[in-house]
Structure 1
Amino acid sequence: MLRFQRTVPRVAIRRLANVYSEGAVLHGYKVRRAQEIPEMRMAAVELEHEMTGARHLHLEREDQNNVFSVGFRTPPPDATGVPHILEHTTLCGSQKYPVRDPFFKMLNRSLANFMNAMTAHDHTFYPFATTNQKDFANLRDLYLDATLRPLLRHADFLQEGWRLEHRDVGDASSELVFKGVVYNEMKGQVSNADYYFWIRFQEAIYPALHNSGGDPEHITDLSYEDLVAFHQNHYHPSNAKTFTYGNFPLRDTLRKLDDEFRGFGRRAIPQMHEKPLQLREAVSVEEPCQIDPMLPADKQCRTSMTWICGNPNDVYETFLLKILGSLLFDGHSSAFYKKLVEETGLAYELSVNTGVESQTAANFLTVGVQGCTDVGQVHKVIMETFTALLAQPFEKHRVEAILHQLELSKKDQKSDFGLQLLYGILPGWVNNTDPFDLLSLNSALQRFRADWDREGDGLFQRLLNKYVIGKPSFTFTMVGSSDFNQVKDQNEQSKLKAKVSSLTESDKEVIYKRGLHLQELQNSEQDLSKLPTLTTADIPHSSGHYFVSRDGPITTRQTDTNGITYIRMKRPLKGAIPYDAYPYIPLYSDGLMNIGTLLEDASAIEEQIRLHTGGISVSIGVHPNVETRLSELYLEISACALNSKTQYVFDIINKIMNETALSVRSEKMKVLIRAAASSFTSYAAENGHDLARLHTGAHFSQTQAIMEQTAGIEQVRHMNNLMSIIEKEAEFNTVLQNLEAMHRKIFVADGLEVMITTDNRQTSDVVKDQALKFIAGVQQSAGAESWLPEKYSRRALEKPYPALLQFPFQVHYTAQSTQGVSYTHPDGAHLQVLASLLTFKHLHREVREKGGAYGGGATYNATDGIFNFFSYRDPQPVRSLNIFRNAGKYVLNEARWTADDLNEAKLSIFQRVDAPISPSSEGLLQFRHNISDEQRDRRRQQLLKSTLDDVRRVADIYLVQPSPSQHMSAVVGPELPREVWSSQWPVIKV
């Protein structure tokens, strides 16, 4: 059966290649070429629209998760963010769909598992993915009309881009401030130190490629007329690249594209060739940046050196450069990680721009660091390392490990495979790189193997001599400045003051009335009847069941894994870790995988993993009981390998777990701690709402309380404590000895289970025997050591004031949480529907459109039983908290939700419930989370049968009736002005 399934796509692929033969014309499109790609069980067809010159690439594959994208080359003319703001405003209404914000309206009228729009360096694209053919046609129609015929109303530009508006829209005497969704989004983005270093580096080395997202200091220079002109110049079929992937008929899409494009005609699109700096001599740039509160005062520098290495259109040389980049920079065994981080201790971590990156017309090879002091010494060691590489060969097994990972990547079937192909192809395709070359991994691998066998290291030494050794470099350095954020704020205020001072009384009157008009539009009811929609009738009444077989401690699943076996292990810890040791869990997991063993260092273990497996991870997970909500910690191990290499998985795990060196390799542990500290502030800048939700949810859930210790603000404080004792040998050794003792309690055979997912019975039986032998070799029990019992300490709920978790950002993130019910409780389904209704019918308008936050909404965590509100990159966090606090009353007293609204809420939920999963994940919900098919089916029916009366009832019970102390709130971000927040709020500084 499985062999037959695997041959069917080959037959379909050959048939496709016959139908779409070179030169054939279908629905106005001429086939340029068609090619089979057997290693991906796929065929590619490239076509050109004869009337406009638009190019289309179709990838035919037996995959039900179909993808569509329309994209345009959009090199930014300046740093005002015009491509980014246009991406937002095109989705605010079009000729065929003249409602406000049809994109967000379609988010809950569809079963798409992915919908988005994205602005890259030099192109903008609009992708979606769905398994429903009717849905595919609806969204394709919406995306094409939005991009080709947007209304681009001035009010939408003001809302999405930027505007001057009174702080209190209804009060003409309140101060004028800058507002706008993209404006606030980018203020949040530049608060991320990693992003800020990377974007300023890019602008410095590639000045012709401006910041396409927009610099907040320049966004307020963009005019509405500039926006409209940019659309007219770039959003034309002659400049378009469209893409489809999957098993839906290509003819239907070609017919639709021809209908949409036919009225435009062909236009000569100027071929802009933006070039990076011409490095005739070494160039050095230094700029200030924000202080990272997680790092010592003398480690506030980031620096990198870059060489320009040819053009990405040379696909094979770019492929070679990326293999070279992996050898130089990836992992513990790479030369630059060893020299700059481990051996010399010059820096805490390699910089975010380290590696080989292709941008428009240039490949960059960059090596840099963050968390350093002596910038000059860093540069000296970089050059010494490059010179040494010419004299010492790369280990052959390291090259083989990289090739092995590339081979596995072709076989590993992710649920978003089509989207990943799009992301890999489009940046080169819009810059005239042949997409077929980008897809031809096999030919590149074959050519490389032949070249490597013939030349060996000479292949890489030639590249180093051609582009690096003795060639001019570009050096980019950022130094932390204590007044950086203050200067940014002053610049914003100066610009605001200049704009306001230039206004006449008539201008001010226009601004006031315009603000009222925009608010009126935001409050107005929209006629959504013109938008296409699915209904609950399109939702399958039963979910996919993935049959698993259980025999003692072994669970097996047989499915089409394309020659890969996936191995998972779990063991309930049953109090093995005392509560006060929870903050050490991330260090424990990180240490197991990254310090090596008693007999082999981290480099040796890492290379074995890369050479023989598809990856191994060890972690401690926490999962609530679906009936009681009480949490249990689990040891979790995940791995995969080719069917012929599964024994390596068990052998390597055995080394890692039985020869652990947690208390021996103390210097390596220090490296890991410093690297974690150096990355946490950037993580918080991207995930501030998650930090806030963990902090508030910890009051109501054991799971969230534990995660607050391991991934939330308590982990930040713990990391700071570790950094403070890292050089105190006695204290630090005590930590490591405790980790070693904890490990002896964790890794025992008692309760250890293994799940095996593979594609044939013979492999399943072999791996089952390997697993049983592995379990038999594990220590059977934890012994009689005395440990504190696991306990759950709920934080005292003395005062319901929101906590301010203070970070040096330019915007805020908020969360509010309250208690829900267990997964199996029938009210849980109604709370999930309520969260969806609040998000799309209330909070999107109030928090994003009116409040200017980049995002906001409500979620219901079904397994933890927590109802959450959140906002993301929010300029008005206290206003958002007030909206959250009154959301329940809004539902009972003001909401006029209809049956159509309820239908849409359910569709938005089932987008996630029924999203495709990869073969590797089939049956995993049952194995890892102990949720049975029967429980999933019961919840599915509860969701489908939920009524508006049910929704109102749970809003009253869980949002309105609880006292204020049962709604916990938090804000992440900078200090707030005293006039907008209470002095009673507790402030937690990082």
Structure 2
Amino acid sequence: MSYHDAFELIRDEHIAEVNSQAQLFRHKKTGAEVLSLVNDDENKVFGITFKTPPEDSTGIAHILEHSVLCGSRKYPVKKPFVELVKGSLNTFLNAMTFPDKTAYPVASQNLKDFYNLVDVYLDAVFFPLLTEETFLQEGWHYELEDVKAPLVYKGVVFNEMKGVYSSPDAVMRDIAQRSLYPDITYGKSSGGDPKAIPDLTFAQFKAFHQTHYHPSNTRAFFSGDDDANQRLAILDEYFSQFERAPVDAEVQLQPRFNAPRQIVATYAGSKEEGKARDGMVSVNWLIDPPADREEQLSHGMLSYLLAGNPAAPLRKALTESGLGEGMTGGGIGSGMRQPMASFGMKGIDPADAGKVEALILSTLEAIAETGFAAEQLEAAANTFEFSLRENNTGSYPRGMVYMFNALGSWLHDGDPLAPLAFEAALSALKAKAQDGHFAREIRRLFLDNMHRTTVTLSADPTQGAREAAQEAEILASVRSKMDADALAATQAETERLKALQEEVDDPAQLARIPTLTLADLPRESRIVPIEKSTLGGAKLFYHDLPTLGIVYLDLGFDLHVLDAEMLPYLPLFGRALLQTGTSKQDFVALTQRIGRTTGGIAQHRALSARQGDDGTAAWFFLSGKAVPDRIEDMLAIMGDVLLDARLDNRERFKQMALEEKAGFEARMIPSGNAIVDTRLKAGLTEASWVSEQMGGVAYLMFLRKLVQQIESDWAGVETMLRTIRDRLFNRGRMVVNATADAALWQRVEGGVGQFVASLPNGAFAPVDWQAHLVPQSEGLIIPAQVNYVGKGANLKALGFALTGASSVALKFLNTTYLWDKIRVQGGAYGGSSRFDLTSGNFSFLSYRDPNLLKTLDAYDGAAKALNAPIGANDLTRSIIGVIGGVDGYEFPDAKGYSSMWRELTGTTDALRQQRREEILGATAADFKAMAEAIDAIARHGHVVVLGGEAAITAANVERPGLLTVTKVM
């Protein structure tokens, strides 16, 4: 094997744990380092990372991450990143800012597409245009639409971070981190503090790129089945254009405290009448950098032992204390040179913060004295080992996990290969675990560690208005210092920026962005093997796929046997199966049993409209994975949790209800667009209505009442839970989904069949849920500085019969008009549209949006964008992008599950192929049809907004009666 002359080979090792030949190179001219993993993974990954420790909280690294993808020397268009999103088969395409680094990873299963992505990204990071207009757009600027109007701040990152800082959990994480690292870069906001972002200048911005985005400050990474020499040739083409220029970007070590510190702060939140539990507390430690792979694994396993599952002793002590509603923090993090550890609670009375802190420390002391039980250690070791060997990263490319694991030490001049191996380290750790290792670590890392902070947060209902007033005061002061000429110049600058944002790129320059052709796309849908039969009286779907010695099993139960009022109980009912114990074991012992003998058992619900009718596919699943020798153990556990869970465990159920409520409230702001989407569609179809009952605002309202009902009428709650179990778990309306290779399945099929046959076989008729489908326009008030704006309708109900080609039109709309209007010009972090061809539901959505009515106006104007002539390149790119989504990468277990779900929703392979051909054959006529449908939404659609009270009130003043207002937080 030959290597590129421009690089010297430093290491060349086979790493069995990741089935890769790992080669570490150094670029001779610049000193850039490259880690190249050669393996059989068709999902190829590339990433380029720079050390970018910020010196302040202006968000300079974050704004730069956005901006380098807005045009480059080779691709001088406004948004090459969006062109890639529109027209690539990528399985991952993004960029991330961390406290000490900025990473640009891409992934694709298609080799040509992969190299296209790599080239665009390399040109973007090393030769970006970085115009001042891009800085103003992505970072911040003064906006003045009329010389008589007040100044306002605009900018994508500015509004993104306003959204981040609207979340109490994010505020806690930020303050906790800053409290531990007051003297170094980790004490700054790498994302950017909205109060500090306007301090950043364009000159500083340009200089930061010139200093940090250099090959001498680079860690480049490849993984997959592409050619190793070609990787180096591609990199040298860019690296060789630079001279060596060592960059001072090292992260210094934080000097240690001599004594713990206390921090008390507030967040912008409402106070409910009679409720004192609006606080949060977090106890945090700074940890020394791990010395080796064994210590890294030790940190992860200790975190799991203490708080990684509901039965873990520290988590259990906190949730059973009655001091709060849910745990925060999960132990020792990774990714920073000096890691931090955090444990705490949300939903506390701030006056009890000291009690929570004392409980955390006393629990740690008790565990340090007695150690962990042998069963706990065995369960944790098996859980970790199974996860490491399975190496199932879900939708996240495996290569990216390898990259970020390597960067943990590589970024700080450590060994990048050591974090990829685990056999020796895990073996040594398992041996130490039996000799009190983790008890000693608790004392070393926590109890004897005086570099500790305790952060207490409480809600301040005036903070949001106060901060808005302070911002307005700053802007008014700036405005007052502008004379007439300065005001006119600012208005002209606002208009100029908007004009530039609305300019259309030169088609010739757009054509330079590499892309695939329609001929590069597979014409046939991928078919997953499936055998349909019966097993033990239930339907069986079996998928013969290579699963590395693991059997994946899904047990599905039809929710249609339940009454409508039972549906909101299902999320907690599912948790109760695995977290209340059985008549033979408490939930601690049950959790340990699952950990010792399986790769995990989990529950979830799945909902979808069905093909060909107005019905709903609604199922509850209990899923497990195990090696064949442990299948019998796994089935015994499944039987116990399905039929013998302690549904009478009132205190445990109450704890879960409080955790569920606190968790939902914490998600309201970070996941606001999903909340709006669920609410918006709840009045359109039965499946969406059910989704709202089990995961939307209606579910939050249910949880709040349920917490009270547990106190006042536990008998009624328990009866409901038992009725759900009795009706649901019957093999007559059950499916079994198995994914494993034929030899494995042959070994375990008989045992699975016996298990299924042992389940009850009650006859319960399907129930008509009589869903309340009444769309209405709503304003849902939360304490946030940004909005999430939705508008939608059911296109089938409006008389439109669309096809797979409709998704091509929406791909174009999302990556052109909506990107420009909502994000670039509007300053929101995101704007998109969603359409479900099966149900007919359509929604417009915005994310972390400073606007409300302007966004709705943009939605209403969207049809014009689809009525405009569509160029051949735009059409082709949009088709490619949609096919990329259809052909997303899946591991074998996910392939088996997806195949089953298609069966349950009536999505045949013939229908999939029809839809594919409609996508591949999309024409301008399909864009016109979609435009007509969207125009109908402008006229007949309804609106849901989740946002601040001031914005929603102002919208109703300007457009009376627009929104029915409800305060949800």
Question: TM-score per shorter chain, which class?
Answer: over 0.9
Tell me the residue number matched to 2:621. 636
Deviates more, 1:279-288 or 1:718-727: 718-727
Q: CA deviation at 1:963?
A: 8.3
Which of 939, 957, 969 matches 2:943?
969
Partner residue, 2:573: 588
Alignment partner, residue 477 of structure 2:
498
**Residue 8 of structure 1 corresponds to which residue in structure 2?**
none
Q: How does 1:172-187 map to 2 (within 5 A)?
A: 172-187=147-162
Match of 1:791, SS state, is coil
Mapped pair 1:559 → 2:541: no
3-state SS in 1 of match to 2:86: coil
Q: How does 1:414-453 map to 2 (within 5 A)?
A: 414=393, 416-453=397-434
1:150 aligns with 2:128: yes
Distance change in 2, residues 1:294/1:557 (3 Å): farther
The correspondence for 1:647, drawn from 632, 636, 648, is: 632
Contact 2:377–2:433, Cα closer than 8 Å, also in 1: no
Deviation at 1:211, TM superposition (A): 0.6
Q: Contact between 2:675 and 2:697, CA under 8 Å: does it hold in 1?
A: yes
* Aligned twin of 1:669: 653
CA distance in 1, matches of 2:37, 2:77: 33
Deviations 1:263-297 (A, max 9, x none): 21111222533333521112111111233668973
Q: In the alignment, which residue of structure 1 is the partner of 2:641?
A: 656
Partner of 1:902: 875
Using the TM superposition, give the Cα deviation of residue 29 of structure 1 relative to its aligned residue in structure 2, in angstroms: 1.0
Name 1:4's counterpart in structure 2: none
**Equivalent in 573, 598, 604 of residue 589 of structure 2:** 604
Separation in 2 of the partners of 1:264 and 1:989? Answer: 57
Which residue is 2:681 aligned to? 697
- CA-based RMSD: 2.1
The alignment status of 1:716 with 2:700, answered yes or no, reads yes
Structure-1 separation of matches of 2:602 and 2:243: 54
* Cα distance change of structure 1 residues 100 and 295 upon mapping to structure 2, 3 Å threshold: farther
List structure 1 runs of 4+ shifted beyond 4 angstroms: 292-296
What amino acid sits opposite 2:484 in the alignment?
A: E
Distance in 2, matches of 1:923 and 1:281, equals 54
Matches of 1:299 and 1:515, distance apart in 2: 45
Tell me which of 367, 381, 386 is aligned to 1:403.
381
Q: CA deviation at 1:308?
A: 2.8
Contact 1:90 1:146 in 2 (8 A): yes
Unaligned runs of 5+ in 1: 1-18
- The CA deviation at 1:175 is 2.2
**Mapped contact 2:63–2:135 kept (Cα < 8 A):** yes
Taking the aligned partners of 1:389 and 1:961, their CA distance within structure 2 comes to: 63
1:671-725 deviations in Å (ceiling 9; x for gaps): 0011111121221112111111111212221111110111111111112212333
For residues 9-53 of structure 1, give each alpha carbon's deviation from its aligned partner in whole angstroms, at most 9, with x where no partner exists.
xxxxxxxxxx37xxxx52411111111111322221111111111
CA distance in structure 1 between the aligned counterparts of 2:11 and 2:448, rounded to whole angstroms: 43
C-alpha distance 469-660 of structure 1, shift in aligned 2 (>3 A)? closer
One-letter amino acid of the structure 2 residue matched with residue 580 of structure 1: E
What letter is aligned with 1:571? F
Task: Determine the C-alpha separation between the residues in 1 that align with 2:696 and 2:645.
Answer: 27
> Is residue 176–residue 284 contact of structure 2 (8 Å, CA) maintained in 1?
no
Equivalent residue runs for 1:318-337 within 5 Å: 318-337=296-315
- Cα offset for 1:913? 0.4
Q: Secondary structure at the match of 1:727?
A: helix
Q: How far does residue 462 in structure 1 lie from its aligned partner after superposition? A: 2.7
* Counterparts of 2:358 and 2:626, CA distance in 1: 40
| C-alpha distance in structure 1 between counterparts of 2:460 and 2:19, whole Å | 53
1:348 matched to 2:325: yes
Paired with 1:920 and 1:480, the residues of 2 have a C-alpha distance of 44
1:569 alignment partner in structure 2: 555
- Are residues 577 and 288 of structure 1, via their aligned partners in 2, closer, same or farther at CA, if it must alter by over 3 Å? same
Cα deviation 1:127-159 (Å, max 9, x = unaligned): 010011111111111111111111110000000
SS of 1:686 mapped into structure 2: coil
Aligned counterpart, 2:760: 779
Compare 333-342 and 139-148 and name the one that shifted more.
333-342
Percent identity of equivalent pairs: 28
Cα separation, 1, equivalents of 2:357 and 2:370: 20
Taking the TM superposition and a 5 Å limit, the aligned residue runs for 1:753-768 are 753-759=735-741, 761-768=742-749
1:821 Cα deviation after fit: 4.5
Conserved? CA contact 1:811–1:874, under 8 Å:
yes
CA distance in 2, matches of 1:243, 1:267: 20
SS of the equivalent of 2:195 reads: helix
Contact 1:294 1:677 in 2 (8 A): no
Residue 836 of structure 1, CA deviation: 1.3
The answer on 1:205 being equivalent to 2:180 is yes
Give the letter for the 2:737 counterpart.
M
Give the drift of 1:584: 1.7
Of 681, 693, 716, 2:665 maps to: 681
Q: Partner residue of 2:266?
A: 288
How much has 1:508 moved relative to structure 2? Answer: 2.0
Q: Deviations over 1:133-190 (max 9, x none)?
A: 1111111111111111111100000000000012xx3x33332210000000000111
Note if contact 2:271-2:460 (Cα within 8 Å) is conserved in structure 1: no
Could you list the per-position Cα deviations for residues 246-266 of structure 1 after superposition, in whole angstroms to 9, with x for gaps in the alignment? Answer: 001121120111111112111
2:811 equivalent in structure 1: 836
Match of 2:500 among 489, 512, 521: 521
- Comparing 120-129 with 278-287, greater Cα deviation is found at 278-287
Please state whether the residue corresponding to 1:520 is helix, strand or coil: helix
Return the offset for 1:432: 2.2
Distance in 2 (alpha carbons) for counterparts of 1:273 and 1:837 = 42
Change (3 A) 1:645 1:975: same
Local SS of the residue matching 1:618 = strand
Distance 2:391 2:246 in 1: 41
Q: What's the offset of the Cα at 1:962?
A: 6.4
Identify unmatched segments of 5+ residues in structure 2. none
SS in 2 for 1:387: helix
Cα deviation digits, residues 798-835 of structure 1 (max 9, x gap): xx6x310111111000111121349xx97231321221
Pairwise mapping of residues 112-191 of structure 1 onto structure 2 (< 5 A)? 112-166=90-144, 169=145, 171-191=146-166
**Residues 558-608 of structure 1, C-alpha deviation per residue, up to 9 Å, x if partnerless?**
22211111001223233x211232222212222222212232221111111
Change over 3 Å in CA distance of 1:619–1:261 after alignment to 2: closer
1:698 aligned partner, one-letter code: A
AA matched with 2:873:
D
Q: Could you tell me how far apart the structure 1 residues matched to 2:646 and 2:444 are? A: 42
Partners of 1:564 and 1:788 lie apart in 2 by 35
Q: SS at 1:692's partner residue?
A: helix
CA contact (8 A) 2:860 2:938 kept: no
Contact 1:294 1:720 in 2 (8 A): no
How far off is 1:788 after superposition?
9.7
Give the letter for the 2:612 counterpart: E
Report the CA distance between 1:889 and its aligned residue. 4.6
1:847 deviates by 0.9
**Structure 1 residues 572, 431: closer, same or farther in 2, change over 3 A?**
same
Contact 1:109 1:532 in 2 (8 A): no
Out of 314-323 and 107-116, give the one that drifted further.
314-323
Cross-structure match for 2:446: 468
Cα distance in 1, alignment partners of residues 620 and 441 from structure 2: 44
- Rounded Cα–Cα distance in structure 1 between residues aligned with 2:33 and 2:274: 52
Does the residue aligned with 2:457 lie in a helix, a strand or coil? strand
Determine the C-alpha separation between the residues in 2 that align with 1:510 and 1:449.
68
Q: How many residues are paired up?
A: 943
Give me the whole-angstrom Cα distance separating, in 2, the residues matched to 1:258 and 1:632.
53
Aligned pair partner of 1:938 in 888, 902, 914: 914
Q: How far apart are residue 860 of structure 1 and its match?
A: 1.3
- Aligned counterpart in structure 2 of residue 74 of structure 1, from 52, 63, 70: 52
Distance in 1 (alpha carbons) for counterparts of 2:172 and 2:5: 47
Give 1:573's aligned amino acid: L
TM-aligned CA deviation for residue 635 of structure 1: 2.4
Identify the range of structure 1 (676-685 vs 178-187) with the bigger mean alpha-carbon deviation. 676-685
| Distance in 2 (alpha carbons) for counterparts of 1:780 and 1:294 | 47
Please state whether the residue corresponding to 1:159 is helix, strand or coil.
helix
Preserved CA contact (<8 Å) 2:628 2:747: no
Give how far 1:890 is off. 4.5
- What SS does the corresponding residue of 2:36 show, helix, strand or coil? strand
